Chain A
Amino acid sequence: MIAVLGLVVGVVAGLLVRPEVPAVVEPYLPIAVVAALDAVFGGLRAMLDGIFDDKVFVVSFLSNVVVAALIVFLGDKLGVGAQLSTGVVVVLGIRIFSNAAAIRRHVFRA
């Protein structure tokens, strides 16, 4: 419950504060958000499976974000930033879908 509240408060804060995104971070923010979403779905699924662990969640969340940003950064340096970020989004999307399927089975039994 507290976690859900945290998410809601974060969204509200982001909408209210509307900070200017620094130019350095700008290309990585969307990918980082997608990576974090992946981690969240993974965590939710683990919770439904009864195997949730906060430490694992924190590590996976942060490492997902960092690795995704790193890949995009590397891609930019190699001149294939657009393609690599597309690739990252595709992979993360697939994972999110599979996690969502598992969650769906738990919640709806279907």
Chain B
Amino acid sequence: MSDQDGTPENRLRKELPEETPATAPEAVPTGENDEKDEKSGLTGRQRLVQGLWPPRVTRAQLIVAVLLFGLGFGLAVQVASNSDGDSALRGARQEDLVRILDELDDRTQRLEDEKAGLEKQRDELENSSDQAEEARKQTLEKERQLGILAGTVAAQGPGITMTIDDTKGTVEADMLLDAIQELRAAGAEAIQVNGVRVVAGTYLTDSGNSVSVDGNKINAPYRFKVIGKPQDLEPALNIPGGVVQTLEKEQATVTVERSTKIVVDALRAAKQPDYARSSSR
């Protein structure tokens, strides 16, 4: 083994130029010649032990100590600075840092784009939900207005109350119908007669001494509650040859009162038409 080891050592030694030429100057130098000659008979291990103990202050030892001090110092500084907190970047080279920075910039850019897209989406959703809310409000409002016309909701407002007292039983359906039409022509918006709502499809029929409105029999006195502009409605009824005069000719008593608040609260169930469909969509 030792023979085999010997040869590669020599070969290796030749590959290391700093150390090999040492053989030449080594033989020459000054005062240590005797020691070196003694040492040359020793093994490497013995030389190591001799070098370590006892400590001798020689020029070589001092110089080597200074250099090793520098090495240890640099080593410690490097290790310390490398293990400092934010260190992944600390030891990185310039081009790596530039690359990392570029990647971060790209990432930031991508995230910014994504953020802009999401914000746009959010705005759109908010807008559309605003619009939906607005549409819903309008629909509700329209439903109320239509409900007043269709008689599905109660209504209140200024208007008149007309009472037809028919003691003789002479008032017939067509007279009431005339009255209703006159009121409509004068701008009545909601009408009820004795608790029956009058709507577009209302019909009146004679039924014995009294009158049926949409199949509901009503008896005198007939009380009309009408919402509309009182200044228009009352004269419309009272015009010469108009409703009031015609009724009074039939021996009925008619009183018309203006009021600032009339409540029309008779309701009618909403009815889904069987055949007619909206063609507006």
Contacts and interface: CB of A to CB of B under 8 A. Distances in A.
A11 B48 contact: no
Interface in A62-105: 63-64, 76, 79, 81-82, 85, 95, 98-99, 102-103, 105
Contacts, number: 184
Given A18-B80, A76-B94, A106-B44, A57 B73 contact: no
Given A5-B65, A46-B19, A82 B93 contact: yes
Contacts of B53: 1
Contact of B76 (A4, A11, A48): A11
Interface residues of A, number: 64
A46 B95 CA distance: 40
A26 B82 CA distance: 10
A52 B75 contact: no
Closest 8 CB pairs of A and B: A14-B76, A10-B72, A106-B44, A6-B65, A60-B18, A54-B60, A48-B44, A1-B55
Interface of B: 1-2, 5, 9, 12-13, 15-16, 18-19, 21-23, 25-26, 29, 36, 39-40, 42-45, 47-48, 51-57, 59-78, 80-82, 91, 93-96
22 contacts: A1-B51, A6-B68, A7-B68, A7-B71, A9-B72, A12-B76, A15-B80, A18-B77, A21-B81, A29-B74, A36-B67, A37-B71, A40-B67, A40-B68, A43-B19, A47-B47, A50-B42, A54-B60, A58-B67, A76-B94, A103-B44, A106-B44
